[in-house]
Chains A and B, each alone.
Chain A
Amino acid sequence: GQSLEQPSEVTAVEGAIVQINCTYQTSGFYGLSWYQQHDGGAPTFLSYNALDGLEETGRFSSFLSRSDSYGYLLLQELQMKDSASYFCAVNQAGTALIFGKGTTLSVSS
């Protein structure tokens, strides 16, 4: 089987930096994806890491350590519009993306 663990809630203020961690247990691991979902909306793709290290896309970065079965999403210069749920998801052999339960990020002014 597979499992993913991520914090259920994170709060931060505008302009701050926040890190959302994700640990996973799975077999046939290919990579770790991150999706964002605003209230009432559909999940949208943010990033994918197949190799160890940091991938940067604008204000958002994602990190993977395959040996530690661990990754994180780093959001910098937080804006109110970043308030959303963030899901890590494992890409693995033989099946579709498996999502974590999500982390609700609340950004206040």
Chain B
Amino acid sequence: GAGVSQSPRYKVTKRGQDVALRCDPISGHVSLYWYRQALGQGPEFLTYFNYEAQQDKSGLPNDRFSAERPEGSISTLTIQRTEQRDSAMYRCASSTDRSLSGANVLTFGAGSRLTVL
């Protein structure tokens, strides 16, 4: 697509429910990143993929968080047994750069705002 598309844009859920956030990157972008952004803060790295391979998941806060990108395109970030502290904007970004050593320009999506009641 023309840009990075994320859905849903807004998700309100009750504590304890599972949520799945979807990211459709720019066509041809091999790298896909998940970040979380609290209000007034910078994006916090969660995980990233090159094609379908998860390269680094060190930023995932705990084992309730998982991500996949099975066909090297669309990715899903899943949060199980949500807690109020999970409330945030979840942003996906994609890049043409497979290597981290260059500029690695990230194009961000509009984000999915998650509210856990």
Chain A contact residues, CB within 8 Å of chain B: 30-31, 33, 35, 41-45, 48, 50, 87, 89, 91-102
Bound complex: CA of A99 vs CA of B108, how far in Å? 13
A94-B100 in contact given A100-B42, A101-B42, A102-B41 (Cβ < 8 Å): yes
The answer to whether A87 and B42 have CB atoms under 8 Å apart is yes
Task: Report B-chain residues with C-beta under 8 Å of the C-beta of A97.
Answer: 33, 45, 104, 106
Bound complex: CA of A92 vs CA of B103, how far in Å? 10
The count of A-to-B residue pairs whose CB atoms sit within 8 angstroms is 66
Bound complex: CA of A106 vs CA of B53, how far in Å? 41
Tell me the minimal C-beta distance from B71 to chain A in angstroms: 21
Chain B contact residues, CB within 8 Å of chain A: 33, 35, 40-45, 48, 56, 58-59, 91, 100-111
Bound complex: CA of A68 vs CA of B73, how far in Å? 40
A100 to chain B: closest residue by CB = B42
The answer to whether B45 and A92 have CB atoms under 8 Å apart is no
Bound complex: CA of A51 vs CA of B36, how far in Å? 29
B110 to chain A: closest residue by CB = A42
The answer to whether B109 and A98 have CB atoms under 8 Å apart is no
The answer to whether B101 and A96 have CB atoms under 8 Å apart is no
The answer to whether B45 and A44 have CB atoms under 8 Å apart is no
The 9 closest A-B pairs by CB, nearest first: A99-B42, A42-B108, A48-B103, A45-B105, A96-B48, A99-B43, A102-B42, A87-B42, A101-B42
